[in-house]
Amino acid sequence: MASNNDNIKIHKHLKVVPPSSSTQTTATTIPLTFFDIFWLRFHPVERLFFYTLPISLSHPSFFFQKLVPILNSSLSLTLQHFLPLAGKIIWPSDSSKPFIQFNPNDDDHGVSLLIAESDSDFNHLIQNSPKEASLSRSFIPVLESTDVFSSIISIQITLFPRNGFSIGISTHHAVLDGKSSTMFIKAWAYLCNKIIETEELSPILSPEFEPLLDRESIKDRDGLGDTFINNWTKMFPNEKGSERSLKILILPFEPKLEDYVRATFELKREDLNKIKESVLSKWEIFDTNESKPKSISSFVLTCAYSAVCVAKAIHKIHDEKEKFVFGLAVDCRARLEPPMASNYFGNCVRMHLVDTEPLDFIDENGVFLVAKCIHESIKMIIENDVLEGVKDGFGKLNTLKNEGYEIIGMAGSNKFEVYESDFGWGRPEKVEIVSIDRGLTIGLAESKDGRGGIEVGIVLDKHVMDVLSTLFLEGLSFD
């Protein structure tokens, strides 16, 4: 079965289910917390893992007959620990809120798995330098959603003969955040490894990858779930029936592809040290009321440096665009009362818009100004109520958009260790957050070499990207 893309051929479309011996016979329902509902119709988070293989392992007949069955069976085994992923989000008429349902008696339960082959240039795809933004989309599966249900994850395995393969995963943001989705990938990789090493058909999952699925522990003190439900339903005042739709919104999340390019920049440890020294040297000059901190995190420095470079590149090409704001993703697990375990599987992130001045990002001292604001925002969140202001998030976002702000978001984290996802044939050669093409978003990951650097992915108009490439490198050339 050929796809619409000339460079890719779909060999199989499978439904992968947990082993029948591991599932109960009755349906299980899991509530959505207010963290989940905030993202209810948001676009899926899409990641792409590229792996190189020896020529012998990447020959089509060997890959499809030997390697794919191992990936398939280990995926099934992993799902027995992550049962919600094999279910759906539904919203029955007698329920005030949508929820997750896993029903082993539903013939359509399970995870969609596409097995594909591509003749695209593998070495070109794994390069950091700018390439057409649309290229990566061929290796990412569609996450099925309708008015009445939505799937939770979808996976595509694509072979590049004589080179390697990719694993593309689409995840529903109303069920799991970045930390949870990378936990699932690592659990799958762990079990796949164990099957290869021991030839056991049902290896035991390491405790570090066992998810905590209990959503009842997250208490909604301020009716945030109802607020976020109302926010979604108010978006469709003139469309009867749409207020309860679960269909993922196409607009404003359509991927930016035509004339857009995708690139990865790396801030090495020595680069981050240079930026840190520059920021700290200006702290007391610009702020006499507050002593400078002893240190400042690599995360803050990366976000500030990258966001300022992006803003300046956009402003240089489109001079009417001069007001920017940065949206910070905050992991709330350890900061809730009571705190959640680090292996909590679900959404536990909130968005926080950093209180910068509109023109800070294009200021000569933009990196310092933005880094200081991000640092102080995180400090405030740690010291105070982590959920303060979250109720007004929708409204604040819409107000800024209406006032002409360009909102720079972030996805991923340098703490997720995505390059540790080894399925038994080596660590990833490249990891991309493909869904950053759905907005003005910076994608973060730890550097592949493990030396403390950070990779920054971005998708921009090619003219803006040309400027960004120059700004990014020039900004690191100071002594």
pLDDT score for 217: 87
| CB burial string 240-253: b at 16+ within 10 A, e below | eeeebbbebeeeee
Lowest-confidence segment of 21-25, 273-277, 393-397, 461-465 by average pLDDT:
21-25
- Residue 6 reports pLDDT greater than 80: no
Cα separation of 302 and 275, whole Å? Answer: 9
Q: What angle do CA 244, 246, 249 make, to 5 degrees?
A: 110
Which residue pairs, CB below 8 angstroms and at least 24 apart, start in 329-333?
329/178, 329/409, 329/410, 329/411, 329/413, 330/378, 330/381, 330/386, 331/177, 331/179, 331/413, 332/35, 332/386, 332/387, 333/179
What does the pLDDT read at residue 23? 60
What number is the average pLDDT over the span 201-230? 91
Residue 244 confidence (pLDDT) above 90: no
pLDDT at 238: 56
Catalytic residue among 121, 220, 363, 422: 422
pLDDT of amino acid 232: 86
CA distances from 322 to 313, 359, 475 (A): 11, 6, 20
pLDDT of residue 301: 98
Spatial separation of the C-alpha atoms in residues 62 and 53, rounded to whole Å? 12
Catalytic (active site) residue 173? yes
Mean per-residue pLDDT over the chain, rounded: 92
d(CA 131, CA 135): 8
Q: pLDDT for 353-378, tens place per residue?
A: 999 999 999 999 999 999 999 999 99
SS3 213: coil
Distance of CA 365 to the CA centre of its chain: 30
Predicted local distance difference test score (pLDDT) of residue 334: 93
- Decide whether 8-244 matches 260-474 in CATH topology: yes
Q: When comparing pLDDT for 63 and 198, which is higher?
A: 63
Q: Sorting pLDDT into bands at 50, 70 and 90, what band is 2?
A: very low
Task: Give pTM, 2 decimals.
Answer: 0.95
Q: What is the CATH class of 260-474?
A: alpha beta
- Mode of pairing for the β-strands spanning 441-446 and 406-412: parallel
Query: Which of 292 and 76 is assigned the larger pLDDT?
Result: 76
With contact defined as beta carbons under 8 Å apart, do 255 and 170 qualify? no
461 is catalytic: no
Instruction: Answer yes or no: is pLDDT of 324 > 50.
Output: yes
- Judging by DSSP bridges, how do beta strands 111-118 and 153-160 pair with one another? parallel
3-state DSSP: the chain helix, strand, coil percent, rounded to 5? Answer: 35, 20, 40
Q: Are 395 and 325 in contact (CB under 8 A)?
A: no
Query: With 60 as the cut, is the pLDDT of residue 157 above it?
Result: yes
Distance, in Å, from the CA atom of 361 to the CA atom of 279, rounded to the nearest integer, reads 14
pLDDT at 477: 84
How many angstroms separate the CA atoms of 407 and 120, rounded? 33
User: Distance between CA atoms of 44 and 463, rounded to whole angstroms?
Assistant: 27
Nearest C-alpha neighbor of 98 from the set 172, 44, 150: 150
Q: Is the pLDDT of residue 454 over 80?
A: yes
Residues 173, 315, 352, 375: which is the catalytic one? 173
Q: How far apart are CA 307 and CA 439, in angstroms?
A: 13
Q: Taking a C-beta distance cutoff of 8 angstroms, is the pair 354, 328 a contact?
A: yes
pLDDT at 479: 52
CA separation for the pair 181, 206 (Å, rounded): 16
The more confident residue out of 5 and 439 is: 439
Is the pLDDT score of 291 beyond 80?
Answer: no
As a whole number of angstroms, the distance between CA 200 and CA 217 comes to 35
Q: What are the extents of the domains in the chain?
A: 8-244, 260-474
Region of residue 289 (left: phi > 0; alpha: psi -120 to 50; beta: else): alpha
pLDDT of residue 147: 92
Long-range (24+ apart) CB contacts under 8 A made by 152-155 are 152/84, 152/85, 152/86, 152/87, 152/88, 152/89, 152/100, 152/111, 152/176, 153/85, 153/111, 153/181, 153/184, 154/111, 154/112, 154/113, 154/114, 155/16, 155/75, 155/111, 155/112, 155/113, 155/114
pLDDT at res. 393: 84
Residues in the chain: 479
pLDDT > 90: what percent of the chain?
81
Q: Where are the alpha helices (DSSP H) in 199-268?
A: 224-234
User: Quick one: pLDDT at residue 361?
Assistant: 97
Say how far apart CA 149 and CA 77 lie, in whole Å.
25
Mean pLDDT check: name the lowest of 240-249, 283-292, 329-338: 283-292
> What mean pLDDT do residues 120-132 have?
97
Place of tokens 């309708």: 146
Task: Identify the pLDDT of residue 1.
Answer: 34
Domain spanning 8-244: CATH 3.30.559.10: yes
Any idea which residue has 């994608």 for tokens? 443
The pLDDT value recorded for residue 20 is 80
d(CA 245, CA 96): 13
Distance of CA 210 to the CA centre of its chain: 20
Q: What are phi and psi of 115, to 5 degrees?
A: -110, 120
239: pLDDT strictly greater than 70: no
C-alpha span between 342 and 344 (Å, rounded): 6
Decide the pairing of beta strands 441-446 and 149-151: unpaired
Tell me: pLDDT of 67 over 50: yes
Instruction: Check residue 200 and give its pLDDT.
Output: 81
- Residues 293-316 have pLDDT tens digits of 988 999 999 999 999 999 999 999
> 35, 18, 30, 455: which is closest to 228 by C-alpha?
35
